[in-house]
Amino acid sequence: MTTSGIDRVNGHPDIRPELPPRTMELLRERNDDLRDRAVANAEAVRRQRSLGKRTARERLDLLLDPGSFTEIDLYRRHQAHGLKVSEHRPHTDGVVAGSGTIDGRRVFVYAQDFTIFGGSLGQAHAAKIHKVMDMAIDTGSPIIALNDSGGARIQEGVMALDGYGGIFRRQVEASGVIPQIAVVLGPSAGGAAYSPALADFTFMVRGTAQMYLTGPDVVQAVSGEKVTHDELGGATVHGELSGVASFVHDDEESCLEDVRYLVSMLPSNNLEPPPAYVPVGAVDDVRPGFASIVPVEPNKPYDMRVLIEELVDDGEFLEVHAGWARNVVVAFGRIDGAVVGMVGNQPMVFAGVLDIEASQKAARFVRFCDAFGIPLVSLVDVPGFLPGTAQEHAGVIRHGAKLLYAYCEATVPRIQVIVRKAYGGAYIVMDSRSIGTDLSLAWPTNEIAVMGAEGAVNVIFRKELAAAADPDALRAELLAEYSEQLVHPYYAAERGLVDDVIDPSHTRSAVARGLAMLRDKRRPTPARKHGNVPL
């Protein structure tokens, strides 16, 4: 013990134990040591890379603008006890959370760190995610989740499940308010799979990403079916069969690059307009190439994506769900600098018919665009809904009604372009004038009818054809008559169901002018809690 001074109040010696010197330099060293231990575990990092995966921080470096990341809760540690969990309490608790920028625009992010507890979610881990999600909602900024987790942390029991519940509740609160993007870069098992499912867009990487509610071992125990992780819930499965994945990539670099590209198309929240570029003169653009893309013959296929490429600025667009429900194309692009969402029937697949999955895919896209103020352009070339007992028994009526509901509910500017044919109920569902499109344009080649001419003649004149001496000659005559009277664009235009019949080469300029005309559209919705979507 040493005397270190006199107590100025009582006059007694101030006797205190000698303490190590507390200099700012020493405090900085201790802080840096803590930070280094929080972000580096060489052996775990080696294992992560041996799986073909980057670390959480390396992924954030790829995603965000250089030097823009601000981390929160770096020193957070779990407070659990028992079952060996208290023996290991690393900082960050297996998730890196904070905020950064993409092309200078604010986003909030969290990246699960598989090198710590396998990225499993416990109470402290969840609390960090809750905090960053609350910040995103409060500031009106997109939230991006980089998922790489074994699921709930078993040692923390119900508290881990409660943590997931808090994430899901916030995702629903944020739905339609801020864009939510999930990037699956490793396992996302059990309850963890619901978070990407609730996001607006989900990215997956082939070979490393998997999502499923019950793993291969449980599947085999219950059903006897042997299946690999990738066969059960890999990126290809969710990109082509289930429709859970919006985008599928071969590597993390291209995946995160496309996340940045997607963010460049989206507003930060539902109160801001989508980011716009300087107009490029599309209102006066003439594109003769349109006419050569679409065959005049109604049954001859072509690629709707080529038409979209001709329609958008610089031929650039971002297709969503490219591998799933390929008979309809949904994509973001820009027309005269303004972001638009495009929905187009794809004649290359099932002749472009609508079916259950195409209806679901298009409906979800339409609802997202409407929630975030993105105008819709519908490119119509549809022969109808896919017939058959399989579709009817699986509920094509109910699922088709989802797309009908989505369009009817949408209050953003809506433009319909009837490229070639539009038959039956599918014509109505593809944003027709009758369900509220603002502007309907048609090419001279278009056919709007209850059904194709041949089918209609066979129904209307069944008895006459059966009694005719030369049924083929009579059928040809009736087909010509039916087409001349009903199946041409001017029939609909004369009745106000088509606003203009345009030269195909003027499609880009007509759409650009229509978007400019509708830019300030405002349509209040009825006072109600919410509608009842036919889920």
Active site residues: 190-191, 425-426
Nearest-angstrom CA–CA distance, 278 and 5: 72
Pairing verdict, β 317-320 and 247-249: unpaired
* Tokens 């997202």 -> residue: 368
Nearest-angstrom CA–CA distance, 520 and 416: 18
- Find, among 332, 331, 334, 333, the residue nearest to 345 by Cα: 331
Beta strands in 27-169 (DSSP E): 70-72, 95-102, 105-112, 143-149
Letter string b/e over residues 508-518, b meaning 16 or more CB atoms within 10 A of that residue's CB? bbbbbbbbbee
Angstrom distances, CA of residue 402 to CA of 142, 360, 425, 434: 26, 7, 13, 16
Nearest-angstrom CA–CA distance, 95 and 188: 14
Residue 196 neighbours by CB under 8 Å, 6+ apart: 145, 147, 182, 184, 188, 202, 211, 244
Contacts 24+ apart (CB under 8 A), 292-296: 294/381, 294/419, 294/420, 294/443, 294/445, 294/504, 296/445
Neighbour-count burial of 28, counting CB atoms closer than 10 A to its CB (0-12 exposed, 13-18 middle, 19+ buried): exposed
The Cβ of residue 3 has, within 10 Å, a number of other Cβ atoms equal to 9
CA Rg value for the chain: 29
